[in-house]
């Protein structure tokens, strides 16, 4: 099965660099699937789950908090604002962040920025979804 080079980079570190068979990323207009030899592309990512597929191996899930994805010459580069692999996320802390964000939205005052509060909630929910996939991976088929 054909492969392509995938690199996921944040301002702090190289998160991932391997040959992969497919990448599914949270594009600004919905999920975006990239296969080897995809046409050149540059797009914005929204906060969400990024899935990496490799033949004969379990899928890898990452929580990304936005950024850019570029496809060029059978190479995919994700420049993420932040990216965490499922095994790097503390589920308890992620659940607490969701709870805090929910409380902030429920009891918001005039000085709370609604857009920032909603973005915080989406990031926390994405992190929780990704870490829970580690415990209960989807069954193929």
Tracing tokens 């604002």 back to the chain, one arrives at 81
Q: Are 36 and 6 in contact (CB under 8 A)?
A: no
The domain total for the chain is 2
Is residue 13 domain-shared with residue 35, that is, in the same domain?
yes
Question: Is residue 134 scored above 90 in pLDDT?
Answer: no
Structural domain contains residue 11: yes
Question: 89 is written with which tokens?
Answer: 């996320």
Residue 94: domain span? 90-135
Q: Which residue has the higher pLDDT, 116 or 74?
A: 74
Instruction: State the pLDDT at residue 127.
Output: 82
For residue 110, report the phi and psi dihedrals to the nearest 5 degrees.
-65, -25
Structural domain contains residue 94: yes
Is residue 68 domain-shared with residue 21, that is, in the same domain?
yes
Q: Are 2 and 21 in contact (CB under 8 A)?
A: yes
Is residue 21 domain-shared with residue 64, that is, in the same domain?
yes
Q: Which residue has the higher pLDDT, 122 or 17?
A: 17
Instruction: State the pLDDT at residue 112.
Output: 66
Q: What is the pLDDT of residues 52-98, one digit of tens each?
A: 999 999 999 999 988 999 999 999 999 998 999 888 888 888 888 88
pTM assigned to the model: 0.78
Question: 60 is written with which tokens?
Answer: 């890898």
Read off the CATH number of the domain in which 108 is found.
1.20.5.440
For residue 97, report the phi and psi dihedrals to the nearest 5 degrees.
-65, -40
% of the chain at pLDDT higher than 70 = 91
Question: Is residue 21 scored above 60 in pLDDT?
Answer: yes
């Amino acid at each position: 099965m054909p492969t392509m080079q995938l690199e996921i980079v944040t301002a702090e570190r190289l998160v991932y660099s391997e040959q992969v068979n497919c990448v599914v990323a949270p594009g600004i207009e919905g999920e975006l699937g990239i296969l080897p030899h995809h046409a050149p592309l540059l797009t914005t990512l929204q906060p969400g789950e990024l899935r990496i597929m490799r033949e004969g191996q379990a899928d890898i899930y990452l929580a990304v908090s936005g950024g850019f994805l570029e496809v060029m010459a059978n190479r995919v580069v994700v420049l993420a604002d932040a990216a965490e692999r499922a095994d790097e996320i503390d589920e308890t802390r992620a659940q607490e962040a969701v709870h805090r964000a929910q409380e902030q939205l429920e009891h918001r005052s005039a000085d709370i920025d609604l857009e920032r509060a909603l973005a915080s909630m989406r990031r926390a929910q994405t992190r929780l979804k990704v870490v829970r996939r580690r415990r209960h991976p989807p069954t193929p088929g």
